[in-house]
């Protein structure tokens, strides 16, 4: 298996099993530098019921998958190729957060390459306003990142740090993060996505409370409009109905307090006072549920997916004070706002 290097480093990267890079050295592959050299990616045998030839011409469903679809970087997809990709996508690819019945009549939107803040796709050049899924914080086509990833994969592509083994790269990164992070935040646990990071956080919270002799502190308090991920527990922490209703979530033990979204309730002119009211409502919720049953309060410093909600002055400090008052852990989910990503 090789990676599509355009996606390395993104939290929600797509990894195609069976993708090989052709016409260029995979390790040094860079979509921008290679653009003029008509670099190609060949997708081989990942479509058992569909085949397409090098021109993208398709040969019907149900046949053996034999050939390839070529992509020339920064080139507009030909209508035939676009159609071939859309057909394969329709046949084999489930998209997260997507109404497939609504999408297919118009066809999937196919992105082929990126450079800086721009993406290139069937419609030409696009400004990537969302930065991938909030995670391409240094832009596309960064040669220094491609080179570092390439070097590391050549040296050691993978080894876990379960039990008593580790790798040089993991130690160096943990050391660097430990020195950068403020206060007593000294340790790093590595994971592959924001959802997994939050799941890991939830386990650490439970374990911490058990070790403290407080095994009943299992409830987690988050907020309306929150977004914390796609797994069962992180979707339960999320406070958006469309992430929960289709799956019968939240799971028991996940509490939602009001978010300081003054605009949503027509209180923009009065945002600070509204923030204090939200803190007061959260206090009531804690009292009602029983503080001794709540393990942690988890919140995004700036709520992203819920509407890019910037908290009014005093709100976050008020929430942290509340957590301290009731001996509840205060956890910030900085998956999209950490490392200076505040816009
Ligand atoms: C605040 C926050 N937490 C967690 C996640 C989940 O991250 P991922 O999509 O990498 O699982 C996101 C994703 O946008 C997020 O915005």
Q: What is the pLDDT of residues 255-281, one digit of tens each?
A: 999 999 999 999 999 999 999 999 999
* Interatomic CA distance for residues 33 and 145, integer angstroms: 13
Q: Where are the domains of the chain?
A: 2-74, 76-157, 191-332
Mean of pLDDT over the chain: 81
Å from CA of 225 to ligand 1 middle: 13
Question: How many CB atoms lie under 10 A from the CB of residue 155?
Answer: 10
Which of the listed residues 194, 200, 341 should we mutate to test ligand 1's pocket, taking the one with most ligand atoms within 8 A of CB?
Answer: 194
For domain 191-332, which architecture applies? 3-Layer(aba) Sandwich (3.40)
pLDDT of residue 34: 32
User: Is there a cis peptide before residue 60, judged by omega within 30 degrees of 0?
Assistant: no
Give the model's confidence band at 342: pLDDT under 50 very low, under 70 low, under 90 confident, else very high: low
Under 8 Å between Cβ of 112 and 121: yes
Å from CA of 162 to ligand 1 middle: 24
Q: Is the pLDDT of residue 13 over 50?
A: no
Nearest to 149 by CA among 25, 339, 8: 8
Q: Is the pLDDT of residue 17 over 90?
A: no
* Pocket residues: Cβ below 6 A from ligand 1: 11-12, 133-134, 193-195, 198, 227-230, 300, 304-305, 333, 335-336
Characterize the bridge pairing of strands 219-223 and 254-257. parallel
Q: Is 233 exposed, middle or buried (0-12, 13-18, 19+ CB in 10 A)?
A: buried
pLDDT of residue 8: 29
- Radius of gyration of the chain from its Cα atoms, rounded to whole angstroms: 23
* Interatomic CA distance for residues 322 and 31, integer angstroms: 49
Q: For residue range 286-334, list pLDDT tens digits in order.
A: 999 999 999 999 999 999 999 999 999 999 999 999 999 999 999 999 9
Q: From its phi and psi, is residue 96 left (phi > 0), alpha (psi between -120 and 50) or beta?
A: beta
User: What CATH code is assigned to 76-157?
Assistant: 3.90.1150.10
pLDDT of residue 117: 95
């Amino acid at each position: 298996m090789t990676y599509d290097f355009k996606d390395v480093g993104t939290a929600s990267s797509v990894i195609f099993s069976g993708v090989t890079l052709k016409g260029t050295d995979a390790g040094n592959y860079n979509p921008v530098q290679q653009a003029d050299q008509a670099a190609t990616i060949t997708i081989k045998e990942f479509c058992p019921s569909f085949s397409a030839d090098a021109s993208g011409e398709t040969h019907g469903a149900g046949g053996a998958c034999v050939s390839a679809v070529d992509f020339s970087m920064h080139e507009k997809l030909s209508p035939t190729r676009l159609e071939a990709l859309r057909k394969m996508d329709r046949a084999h690819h489930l998209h997260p957060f997507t109404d497939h019945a609504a999408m297919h009549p118009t066809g999937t939107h196919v992105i082929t390459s990126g450079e800086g803040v721009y993406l290139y796709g069937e419609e030409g050049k696009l400004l990537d306003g969302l930065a991938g899924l909030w995670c391409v914080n240094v832009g596309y086509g960064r040669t220094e990142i491609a080179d570092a990833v390439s070097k590391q994969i050549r040296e050691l592509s993978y080894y876990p740090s379960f039990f008593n083994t580790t790798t040089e790269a993991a130690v160096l990164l943990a050391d660097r993060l430990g020195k950068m992070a403020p206060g007593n935040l000294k340790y790093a646990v590595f994971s592959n996505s924001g959802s997994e990071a939050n799941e890991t956080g939830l386990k650490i919270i439970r374990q911490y409370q058990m070790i403290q002799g407080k095994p009943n502190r299992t409830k987690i308090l988050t907020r309306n409009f929150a977004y914390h991920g796609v797994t069962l527990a992180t979707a339960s922490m999320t406070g958006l109905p469309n992430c929960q209703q289709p799956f019968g979530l939240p799971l028991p033990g996940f509490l939602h307090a009001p978010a300081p979204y003054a605009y949503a309730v027509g209180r923009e002119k009065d945002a600070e006072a509204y923030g204090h009211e939200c803190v007061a409502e959260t206090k009531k919720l804690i009292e009602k549920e029983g503080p001794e049953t709540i393990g942690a309060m988890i919140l995004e410093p700036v709520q992203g997916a819920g509407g890019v909600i910037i908290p009014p002055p005093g709100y976050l400090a008020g929430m942290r004070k509340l957590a301290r008052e009731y001996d509840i852990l205060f956890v910030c989910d900085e998956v999209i706002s950490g490392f200076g990503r505040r816009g």
